[in-house]
Amino acid sequence: MDLIADSIIIALVVVGIIFTIITVVGIIRLPDVYMRAHAASKSATLGVMSLLLGVFFHFWWNEGHFSISLVLGIAFLFITSPIGGHLMSRAAYMSGVKPTELTVGDDLKIAIDKQRAELAKNTHEE
């Protein structure tokens, strides 16, 4: 029983460490702000959630301490980390950071230009 518990904890912690290292490699090597935000928000979230789940099981099974604030921390990270990634990418786009040359399409620019044109037309009519 103890062996099974330790195996599950070690597996969760190892998955968390692997996704942490994947985050670092992605942030250093990818060529673009948006790709870096993609790497950072997804794999860092999954890595830290898996590692915190391992720590939660460690304190629950080995120490007999059911820590409810750790569950709250996991849920909070799962909610807020993609929101943070979305806000950072939108701030990067709105402040005019160019994507890399490998990009083939920019649909957001078309949508924003259309919105700006409609706004200008409405203010002109008034």
Residues at the contact surface with another protein, assessed by CB under 8 A: 6, 10, 13-14, 16-17, 20-21, 23-24, 27-28, 33, 36-37, 40, 44-45, 47-48, 51-52, 55, 58-59, 63, 65, 67, 69-70, 72-73, 76-77, 80-81, 83-85, 87-92, 94-95, 97
Residue 7 to residues 3, 13, 27, 39, 51, Cα–Cα distance (Å):
6, 10, 30, 28, 14
Nearer of residues 6 and 8 to another protein, judged by Cβ: 6
Query: Taking the complex as a whole, how short is the minimal distance between the CB of residue 110 and another protein, in angstroms?
Result: 20
Q: Which is nearer to another protein, 32 or 125 (CB)?
A: 32
Type of residue at 26: G
For residue 18, what are the contacts with CB-CB under 8 A and spacing of at least 6?
47
Indicate the helix (H) or strand (E) that contains 113. helix 107-125
